[in-house]
A and B are shown apart, each in its own frame.
Chain A
Amino acid sequence: MTKSRIFWGIVAPTAAIINSLFFVYIILKLRGVEPIEMFKLMVSYGFDPRNLVSEINQTVAYYMAGVAAAIGFKMLLFNIGIDGQYRMGAFFGAVVGAAVNLPPVLHVLLIILVAMLAGGAWAAIAGYLKVKRGVNEVISNIMLNFIAAAIIAFLLSPNLLGSLPEGSQNLQTKPIPSSGQMPTIKAFEGEIYSFLFIAVVVGIGYWIMLNKTVFGFNLRATGLSFRAARASGVNAPRMIFITTVLSGAIAGLVGIGTLLSDTHSYSMAFPSGYAFTGLALALLGRNHPVGIFFAAFLWSFLERSAPVLEFEGVPPEIVIVMQGTIVLSIVIAYEVVARINLRQQQRAVGSANSENQIPVAEQVKETK
């Protein structure tokens, strides 16, 4: 049973990726470009060591967003607020990190903790509104994303928490001292953020929490059936609130790798759009920590290798088309797999029943 689950878990995303490649193949063909050549070019560019390093660093950020989304998905929550939560986490992590002086490891841990608290607290607003007021989390989170961006823009003004370094047009927080910075690992002529290890810890922790603990069981049970969980003794509304906060806390870590290993301060240049990406990655990786990792890497890889297409006269936006078709295909592929699985199981149940039945049925025939 588990073997077939792993098998289908790999077949579905592979089929989705092939399907999307096929789609892009047709588009490229219509443009009169040789698709196979393009794919080859992307692969060789994407696996170039220097590019690989930045892909890994991007993967770490995407991974956090993916796990944050996955926690929400397990509860049937659509955490579109990852963007705002990530901004809050990175911003307050940067502000607190710059304001204190602590021994090296402790300093880093404090920043990570503050980032998680800030992200979690921001998500808690949506959680509270959902549980107590019945506000759909998608609506509140979209609003909260705007509000977070506005608050941070306001706080970044030079007379408050921001500063404008000489020769720069970019408002940013004060730099974090070296005790609060994370080292990088030199590899392939580049530098990999050591925050990578935190991501690994988060992934393992997520898996253990979900599959081994009573808390994780309650979380999944509430996601699978609110009513059954409630009848079983789970305080389901509270569970929804906690899950929302947890998802936000992980989202708070999305920008921390860049912050601690690269920029050392938060600025308006921190990218946006992590919410949609995170949701797509959780979907593609099927909420599984390993699956999300591969999904995150695939995303970074595609984005990094896109610019090379421009040299050949192909707009790099083709990568967005590819990502979009992957997500669309994966939704369909998983649905198909789920139906195949259920049918297989029902068949197994049916044949188990008929095995029990046949001898009895034969008896009937004889007595007739």
Chain B
Amino acid sequence: MAFFPWKRFLRSKTAWFSLLVMLVFGLVAVLAPWLAPHDPTKWSFSQTNLPPMWVNDAAGAGVAEFPLGTDRVGRDILSRMIYGTRTSFILAFTAVPLAALIGTLLGLIAGFRGGRLDTLIVLLTDIFQSLPGIMFMVVLILIFRSILAPTWLAGLVTLVIGYAAVSWVSLARLVRINVLMIKSRLFVEAAAALGASRRYIITHHLLPNVLHVILAWIINNIPAIIILEAVLGYIGVGVTGATEGGEFNVVSWGGLFFAGRSAFSRNPLILILPSLSLMLVCVSFILFSDMINEITHQEQQ
């Protein structure tokens, strides 16, 4: 990474925009307990279905205590938004690296060892790729729901494992192809001829050369899991405490989507705000990865 063109990077407006958005949302995620005005899981039955505080019409008037109103069981929307940011960031920074680890390991083994093992791993990636991703995750969540306790941690673990199980495939393929290409290059042959051990070749020649592929994949997949969580929450099999029953009590944007879906005519903000913040975060990650691609591409010429 020493050759990374920092100057060009720091001069671009896109970089500053993305970094700013990530920083703001990151801060919100870290400081959630101090920022949120209420406990996001506390029910208050005297104040259910409140509109935002500036609304005052026949259907009801908002109170300053709940700035964005409350949901069906009287939980504060603003607090749920803030804690939801936290969930999204924790997911992004645990599930994606876990998937990356699995994908890198399998891709590296397949590409480096070759032979029977390679065939087997490629077959495995084909099998996982040919399963419909969303349904695979829905089924996994339904299973985990039944065996784990409905806590915040268990919900997160479910999503992390589910996502890692689905998404390692694309990285494994990428890493394998790249390793195959690098393996046939002269410097690897030279290292092998000089008597370098396998471990040395892997850690000093292969890994550094596929590192940029892995990093790009990680940045690209962070928006993917944030969106996936929202989609799963929306269709109602997420890990949120949106409905009663044996579900995980995770406060997340997906859960807000689920709540906002039925409350759309009454309080559209429940749906609009998480959508906007989700879009901001995802756009900044996507633009960020685009820009890094472009800069390194230009630098190589």
Does chain A bind chain B? Answer: no
Residues of A bordering B, CB below 8 Å: none
Residues of B bordering A, CB below 8 Å: none
